[in-house]
Every structure is written in C-alpha cells, then in structure tokens.
Amino acid sequence: MSKCKAALLAALQLRPHILLKVWFCTLTYSYFNVSLLNSLPVCPVLFTVGRNQYEKMGSDVTMLCGSLDNSTSVTWKVNGTDVRAPHRVEGPRLMLPKVNSSHNGLYSCFQNPHGERRDSINLRIGLPPREMSITCRSNTYPKGFYCSWQEHYPTFIPTMFEVDVQHNQRSLDVQDDPVHKNRCHVRFPEVFSSFLYHVNVTAVNALGKASSTFSFEESTIVKPDPPERVVATPVRNNPRRLEVSWNSPSTWPDINSFPLKYFLRYRPLIREQWQHVELSDSTTHTITDAYAGKEYIIQVAAKDTEIGTWSDWSVAVHATTWISEITSLLKWTLSSQTSPSSVPSSKAPQKAEPPVGRAARVLTFFSPLMLGMLLLFMW
Amino acid sequence: WEFLLSFFYTVRYPQLVLLLAAAAVSALDASERSSIESTYELTKYLEYQLKEIKDVYLTYLGPPFNEKDFSPPRPNSTALTLPSAATRLELWHGLENQARLAQNQRAYSILLAAVRELARSTLCPSLKTSLLHFCTGLDGLLGSISALMTTLGYALPASS
C-alpha cells in the first residue's frame, strides 16, 4: 500500500468527512473514494480545507462558528492547537484584534460540552490590490502585441486580473498567456492605425479591487526579439578580420514586408569599450579592424527599419582572430618561458625533452629574432 | 484647428515607404530604382520635418496644445472623410502597387491643402515660412509619385 493511501486512510478514520484536494492542473474537490485513489497517477496532497475567510491586515477580525445562536458555547482551535494570539470569545464568535500574517491558519470550532466540530475556517490575512505598472510590447509586428503588469505591493491572498483593451471605441479580444500569470496577448485589429490603444488592468481579490491604465500608439511599442544564431568566424590569412552572420528573430513574422535593420557591437575580451556598427537589412558583416590573435565578444541587435525601438542584445558570441602557425608557435615559446607547463594551442613538435629545458634553449638562441618576427606577423 | 491638427497624426508614411521598399527590389531598371529610392528618402525627410513643425506649431497655439501630454482628438472616422493609413493587414498585403500609389497621392494632396490653409492663417512669420517650406517638399513628393506612376504605366488619379 502506498504511503499516500495509508496516510489518507489513517486521516479518514479520524475525520471521515474531510474534503480531499487533488493536485492536477485544475483543482477538483471530491469526497474520498478508495478506488479513485488507486487510479490516481500522483499522490493527492492531503490537508483539511475549510471555507476561506479573507481579512485585511491590521483590522479586527470576527469569525463566526457556523450558524449557531449567540448563546452557544464553543471552543476554538487553530491548526489543531489552542489559539495563542490575543483573542476574545463571545458565544459562537472568535475575535482577533489587529491581525497580521501570523494569524493565518485553519480555525475550527467545537460546540461545548460534547466537542462536535461545527465549522472550519481557513483564515487568510492580506491586502486589497493597489496600482500596478503596465507595459506593452510588440515583438511580432504587425501580428499582435502583449501587455505585462507588475504589482508594486503584494496582496498575500489570491488575486485575479481582468484586462480590457480598447481601440477606436471597440473592445479587443484578449488571450491569457499560458505561462506568464501577469501577461496577456492581443492581435492588432489593423495596421498603421493612429488611434491609441487603451489597456485597463483591474486587480480583484476578496478585499477589494484596483485599476491601472496604459495607453499607447501602435508604432511606439514595437521592439523585436534579438537576432538569433549569431556566428563569428575568423578569416584565414586575414588576422584583422572576423566574419559575423546571424538570423532575424524567428518571432518576427513578416521580414519581407517589415524589414529589420541591425546594430553590431564588438570588443576584445580584455577591453571595456565597445565598437559599434549600424547596418541595414543585411544579415552578415565583416569586421576589418580587429586585433590579430585576440578573442572578441560580438553581439547584434535588431530594429524595424521604420518604427519602434532596438531589441535587446543577442547572446554574446566569442571568436578569436586568425593567427598564423608561426606566430602561434612564437607566442607559445615566449609564454613557455614564464609558465613552463603551458601547452601550445596550435601544432608544435612534441619531443621527449622536458619542455622547460627545450623552451629555455630555443628562447636563449632566438629571442631577439623571435620578438621581431612576432611583431611582424602581428601587424 | 483640431481637425487640421488631427490630420498631422492621421497621415502616415508607411504605405508609401513600404511600397517603395518592395518596389525597389523588383524595379526594372536603375533609373526607376533610383527614383523610387529618392522618393523614399524624401518621405523620411518630410516625416522628420513634420514632427519638428508639429512641436513648433503646438507651442505657437499655446495651452492646452503646448502641454507636454497633449494628445489631439483623433478624428471620428464616421464624421470626417480623412484618408487614413489604417488598414487590415491582409488587405494591405493584397493591394496592387497602382492602388497604393494612388492612395498615397490622394492622402498627400489633402495634407498639402490642409497645410497650405494652416500657413495662410498663421500669423507668426517664422512658422508661416516653415509651413510653406514643408508645402514645397510635399509638392515635390506629389510630383515624384506622379512621375513614378507614369513610369510604371499607371493612370494618374483625377485631381480633385
């Protein structure tokens, strides 16, 4: 017998009327059924659930035990233990002054003197919603846009959001985002419109509601996703060049009618300052002023040729400019002098002699000549 | 005044701009391509000029027009028959070049008439000069579009 099932049966013996909450994508409430449990693919999360009571932080709370009359005497428990917080009991009522989140819990009341349980209240302390900030963006222009909102103040209790988008005095169809809770999607009803879009987000919970609005013009929210699959390769026999190529973002639906232009930035790994190149709609570029033998970081951004703002920078790619084999060997022998255990990155003759001795001998003999050659090949 | 001001916001360049971009790709010869490109550059310049003039003009009108967050009332689409660039995407995709150019021709003609009227009734001399200069540019654009239509073999729309 699974642990889940055993725990469930044990709990049932104590409280045969518990409600079982089963975790799937949607919540379902049902009375316990052994055969149902056998077929469940996941262990049901077991806890007793009463009716919810939401109260505002800092307020004085009164909980009423069922529908008992005022003369009834009850005993209250929270999460199975005595109520420790300052409180007052008057007949079937439990009063808690100036509540905070420590008062959260499952409160049960038992009628005296026999102790029959009469009610279960899940007390949740929270706040009503307050203003939010809304932003909208179109990375799929001209197909549609999405809006996201952010609450500045937590509510601590379940809060839902109603979104309304108006354009040219008409309400647009709004789709929830399947992944992001605070995001929704809208299709553009038309393109090149000068009418503003008005987004109204209303946050609603048991303690109140609050609305925030955001208005914008079609062209101002256009921001593509960054370019994809950026590739940078060195050019053989050309130590100052790097060939960079990329793809337009796959989320941009119509690259032919709505071309993108690009911005490229690059710097050697060891430097702080970027170099920038603004490009048209071509998806390749050759950097011609790189330093030989240096590792570079390269990023690309995209923007619609006419409207909107630049995308975020693409993922950074690293590339090292081409360096001749002789130069590479010279560098290796030079670096071997300082760190004898270093391994050359390009082909180097492997001999049985210890590298320290060999490098030292080569270096002593050729050092002025090598430095000269090195400089020659670098520039 | 609200009508004329709204018009600044209604007329857009995207139709012409995109037409030109698309046409430039499939244009038959170098001179056609070059005239399309220069017309395209002209529209960009005019858009920039228009934005500048708009700011100066709103300042000239004073409150509430010169306030930071002033947004002109958009013309009620049923009340006025102003040309609007707004269109459904699939309709726009399906437009023939002739129709695109003709629509742009009509829109810019109306804008030209509106700005000429604005210039005529503007008392501030420097603003009047700017508006008239803009009209010259617009007139040039209309000429470019007409020339393009003729080169491509399209019938010119009857002037209203």
What's the pLDDT at A265? 97
**CA-nearest residue of chain B to A258?**
B18
Q: Which residue has the higher pLDDT, A328 or B138?
A: B138
Query: Hey, how many other C-beta atoms are within 10 angstroms of the C-beta on B21?
Result: 19
- Residues A320-375 pLDDT 10s: 998 887 777 887 888 777 655 544 444 444 444 444 444 444 444 445 555 555 45
CB contact under 8 A, A259 and B9: no
- The shortest C-alpha distance from A193 to chain B (Å) reads 4
* A24-38, A254-268, B94-108: range with highest mean pLDDT: A254-268
Q: List the single best residue of B11, B78, B89 to mutate versus A (max A Cβ within 10 A).
A: B89
Please give the Cα distance from A365 to A367 (Å, whole number): 6
In the Cβ-directed half-sphere of A282, how many Cα atoms lie within 13 Å?
A: 11
The correct answer on CATH 1.20.1260 for the domain covering B2-66+84-151 is: yes
- The shortest C-alpha distance from B76 to chain A (Å) reads 9
- Residues B141-158 pLDDT 10s: 999 989 988 888 888 876
Confidence label for B83 from pLDDT (cuts 50, 70 and 90) = low
Q: Residue B6's closest CA among B98, B59, B71, B102?
A: B71
State whether residue A286 is helix, strand or coil: strand
Domain ranges of chain B: 2-66+84-151
Residue A42, pLDDT above cutoff 90: no
Chain A hits for B12, Cβ within 8 Å: 192, 194
Find the mean pLDDT for residues A147-165: 95
Q: Can you read off the two tokens belonging to residue A335?
A: 């670096």
Find the mean pLDDT for residues B51-77: 76
Partner A contacted by B140 (CB < 8 A): no
State whether residue A26 is helix, strand or coil: coil
Q: Residue A85's closest CA among A105, A113, A68?
A: A105
Partner A contacted by B51 (CB < 8 A): no
For all residues of chain A together, what is the average pLDDT? 81
* Residue B138 to residues A33, B50, B97, Cα–Cα distance (Å): 79, 10, 20
Residue A40, pLDDT above cutoff 50: no
CB contact under 8 A, B86 and A191: yes
Q: Which residue has the higher pLDDT, B109 or B32?
A: B109
Q: Per residue in A28-45, is it b (16+ CB within 10 Å) or e — as a string?
A: eeeebeeeebeeeeeebe
* A110-124, A334-348, B15-29: range with highest mean pLDDT: A110-124
**CA-nearest residue of chain A to B73?**
A195
| Lookup result for tokens 């459904």 | B88
Find the mean pLDDT for residues A45-66: 83
- The shortest C-alpha distance from A232 to chain B (Å) reads 28
Partner A contacted by B14 (CB < 8 A): yes
* A284-288, B50-54, B65-69: range with highest mean pLDDT: A284-288
What's the pLDDT at A9? 45
Please give the Cα distance from A213 to A131 (Å, whole number): 9
Is residue B11 a contact partner of residue B134, using CB atoms and an 8 Å limit? no
Phi, psi of A285 (to 5 degrees): -160, 145
Confidence label for A35 from pLDDT (cuts 50, 70 and 90) = very low
Q: Is this model's pTM higher than 0.80 or not?
A: no
- Residues B101-112 pLDDT 10s: 888 888 888 888
Q: Can you read off the two tokens belonging to residue A168?
A: 């040219």
- Cite the DSSP H helix spans in chain A: 3-14, 34-39, 325-338, 355-378
Q: Can you read off the two tokens belonging to residue B59?
A: 């300042």
Is residue A163 a contact partner of residue A200, using CB atoms and an 8 Å limit? yes
- Residues A197-208 pLDDT 10s: 999 999 999 999
Confidence label for A298 from pLDDT (cuts 50, 70 and 90) = very high
| Lookup result for tokens 């005595």 | A82
Is residue B119 a contact partner of residue B14, using CB atoms and an 8 Å limit? no
SS3 content of chain B, % helix, strand, coil (to 5): 70, 0, 30
